[in-house]
Amino acid sequence: MALVKSGIGAVFWPRDAAKSNELQRVATEETPHGIPLLVGLDVIHGHYTIFPTPIAQGSSFDPSVARTDAQISAGEARSGGVNWTFSPMVDVSRDPRWGRVVEGFGEDPYLNAQMGVAKVRGYQGSALHESTSLLACAKHFVAYGQAEGGRDYNTVDLSEQRLRNLYFEPFKSMVDEGVATVMASFNTVSGRPAHANHYLLTDILKSEWGHIGFVVGDAEGIPNLIAHGVASDLQDALKQAFRAGLDMDMGGYVVDVNGSMAVAESDIDGDRVNDAVRRILRLKFALGLFDNPYVQVGDAATEPTALTRRAAHDAAVRSIVLLKNDGTLPLSRTLSKVLLVGPYADSTDHLGAWTQSFAAPAASLAQVLKERLQHSQLTVMEGAVFQGSNSSLQTQACDAAYEHDCVIVAVGEPSKLTGEASSRSDLRLPGDQEALILAIAQTGVPFVVVMSNGRPLVISDWADHAPALLEVWHLGTEAAPAIVDVLFGEANPGGKLPMTFPRSVGQVPIYYNHESTGRPARFSANVISDAPDVGLHGPDNTNDYFTSKYLDLELGPLFSFGHGLSYTHFSVGVPTSNVLCLTRDQLQRGMQFEIAIELKNTGKREGDEVLQLYVRDKVASLAQPMRRLRGFQRVPLKVGQTSVVTFTVGWQDLGFWSDSRPSRYQVEPGEFEVHVGSSLLNTQMLEVSVVL
């Protein structure tokens, strides 16, 4: 309150509509300028009704999931006085050790862009002054996901071409969509912290891309410049950030309760002040705060409704990925005795990172299964712990397994191990959960594994032993009913991985869109017991020695980006294109290749398939990614139904940014492979060419 009286322009939400109104009253009536407040909050994947975490939403490969989440969250939050959310996060991330991978849409720039744009549309609605709209915030600008070693806040050093080709795309797409605000990231980019980076905040974001909203610093990002060792004190830090193009500070003590700035007015450029003020005021006007800064206290949402729960439930189902299945799933409703084990069996920790204490809680799997399995006998046991080990729990669970027809093993990563400042060096299931899975496998009783986590995990030590495995991430308020729907076949899983699952932590970073090397590995998984591999238990690399790989590991990840199975089967036809060759000029003028492909549900259940389109530039002046995702469509098909799916490939999909300064986007003439299919490893190829 004291800060508001002192004239501060934005606050964190005071957590209730009446208190928000009171702050707005003081700002508009008791300050000399009378300007209403921006009221911000991290509404990341829900406010009261919690949707799946962003990485889970990435799994849906369905932008409507992200948009619905944002629409509902915006309505709930704005009704209580929030008018600005610090979301979406679109930091492309290739390193699952970094805890914040849960807050974004995975490793691919195109997927991040599509989901990020959908979020912005949902939050910002058709007009910001509507009572269901929030200002969105694209964060964290930029390349935060490349923190060294996956250690949060760590150094980022990268080339201009990687910056432009990998990290910029989602931000640029959201700026084009009119995202209201952008948040600077905590990291350095090639030595210069983003908060003091004129090139990024002004030259790129504002000048080159034309961002007309404002740029906010991340929490204490300005004083952090002192720790970065680029500013001598707070005054210096503030001056550098402001000059670089930062328009608003977040919680960095640059204004005290008397309204005094930590920097002398004479030290700040007047034009820069006007520019920042103009950007912020424009949005306050757009929100309609000058007409009415208040909300109707009686209309404020305080909990989910049946409708918002339904939407969260659908989103949760759509975000589940079936990683493997030997036919054990879906489970039959006629099983007479079901054992549910694991630390996630009776846990309600399904909301995931970045939810507030007032979020609507989730039920546990045990609670929902008890209600649903009225004709089966359900036994629930802990079996293992998240921290340390408890072998007696495991013994009890295994003894019990013999008495049951089927075991559901519910394991995972508690949400407190995910999110900001939650980097991990060991990516296995924590505690003694792996031992529990292996022990249950030994009983010979049919079982399935349900995994709730916030990042790709290393599961190589037990995945082969699991007959069926569901990746359910942290799915939000409606997690448990959604998981049960999928377990028993009331819903058919159709999600795909938005991030690669490594075989071992030593492989990290491992991602699908890697550049070709001069020495790609050719053989893999070729273990010959008497080969002179000095007991590394890896491939026989003596035939393929000087290539890019690990001596002691099979090639490739355990599960690739884009992988995900279904309870039904699909057949994918041969792609065709209306035209196989275009000139560069035609492309630049907007002509496109139209790729059509037939998709058929050949199985016995209705289900969704996500068709993915990848492009490869065969010869270019810079080494190109082996594949680049440039299109996806989630297609629902009834049993026996066929659909012809069309994609367009154009200027934006075939080019790349050069390494010259200034960098230039270019499409180089030549042959391009277009791969379309149901996963990265299962595609049909078509070649198109671009000529001068």
Q: Which residues bind ligand BGC (CB under 6 A)?
A: 42, 86, 139, 218-219, 420
Q: Under a CB-based contact definition with an 8 Å cutoff, are residues 128 and 283 in contact? A: yes
Question: Closer CB to ligand BGC, residue 420 or residue 673?
Answer: 420
Nearer to ligand BGC by Cβ, of 13 and 672: the residue is: 13
What is the C-alpha to C-alpha distance for residues 243 and 260, in angstroms, rounded to an integer?
19
Determine contact, residues 169/201, Cβ cutoff 8 Å: no
Quote the Cα angle for 401-404-407, to 5°: 60
CB of 86 to ligand BGC, least distance (A): 3
Main-chain phi, psi angles of 78, to 5 degrees: -65, -30
**Token pair belonging to 210:** 């034309």
- Pairwise CA distance, residues 521 & 541, whole Å: 10
Residues in Cβ contact with 577 at an 8 Å cutoff, skipping those fewer than 6 apart: 593, 594, 595, 596, 674, 686, 688
Residue closer to ligand BGC by CB (options 86, 511) is: 86
Token couple for 125: 């609605």
Distance CA 147, CA 223 (A): 20
Is residue 127 a contact partner of residue 285, using CB atoms and an 8 Å limit?
A: no
Whose Cβ is closer to ligand BGC: residue 138's or residue 401's?
138
Nearer to ligand BGC, 139 or 616 (CB): 139
Q: Where are the alpha helices (DSSP H) in 48-195?
A: 54-60, 63-79, 109-124, 160-162, 168-177
604 touches 576 (CB < 8 A): no
Q: Which residue of the set 42, 62, 108, 218 is catalytic?
A: 218
CB of 635 to ligand BGC, least distance (A): 34
Shortest separation between residue 219's beta carbon and ligand BGC, angstroms: 4
Structure tokens at 564: 């995900």
Cα dihedral 102, 108, 111, 117 sign: positive
Q: How far apart are CA 111 and CA 628, in angstroms?
A: 10
CB 566 within 8 A of CB 493: yes
Q: How many other C-beta atoms can be found within 10 angstroms of the C-beta atom of residue 267?
A: 13
Which residues does residue 321 pair with via DSSP β-bridges, in sequence order?
Answer: 471
Do 90 and 110 meet the contact criterion of CB atoms below 8 Å apart? no
Answer whether 542's CB lies under 8 Å from 531's CB.
Answer: yes
Nearer to ligand BGC, 358 or 402 (CB): 358
Helical ranges in 564-689 per DSSP H: 584-588, 651-654
- Is residue 628 within a helix (H) or strand (E), and if so which, with residue range? strand 628-637
Which is nearer to ligand BGC, 42 or 247 (by Cβ)?
A: 42
Q: Which is nearer to ligand BGC, 197 or 500 (CB)?
A: 197
User: Rounded to an integer, what distance in angstroms lies between the CA atom of residue 510 and that of residue 177?
Assistant: 31
Structure token digits, residue 642:
């066929």
Residue among 91 and 668 whose Cβ is closer to ligand BGC? 91
**Cβ 90 to ligand BGC, closest distance in Å?**
12
Q: Say whether 247 is catalytic.
A: no
Taking phi over 0 as left and psi of -120 to 50 as alpha, with beta for the rest, 654 belongs to: alpha
Nearer to ligand BGC, 219 or 268 (CB): 219
Residue showing the smallest CB distance to ligand BGC in the complex: 86
Q: Report the amino acid identity of residue 349.
A: D
Nearer CB in complex with ligand BGC: 139/630: 139
Q: CB of residue 207 vs ligand BGC: minimum separation in angstroms?
A: 25
Q: What does each C-alpha distance from 45 to 41, 48, 70, 657 come to in angstroms?
A: 12, 10, 7, 32
DSSP state of 167: I
674: left (phi > 0), else alpha (psi -120 to 50), else beta?
Answer: beta
Q: How far is the CB of 384 from ligand BGC (least distance, A)?
A: 32
State whether residue 657 is helix, strand or coil: strand
* Catalytically annotated residues: 218
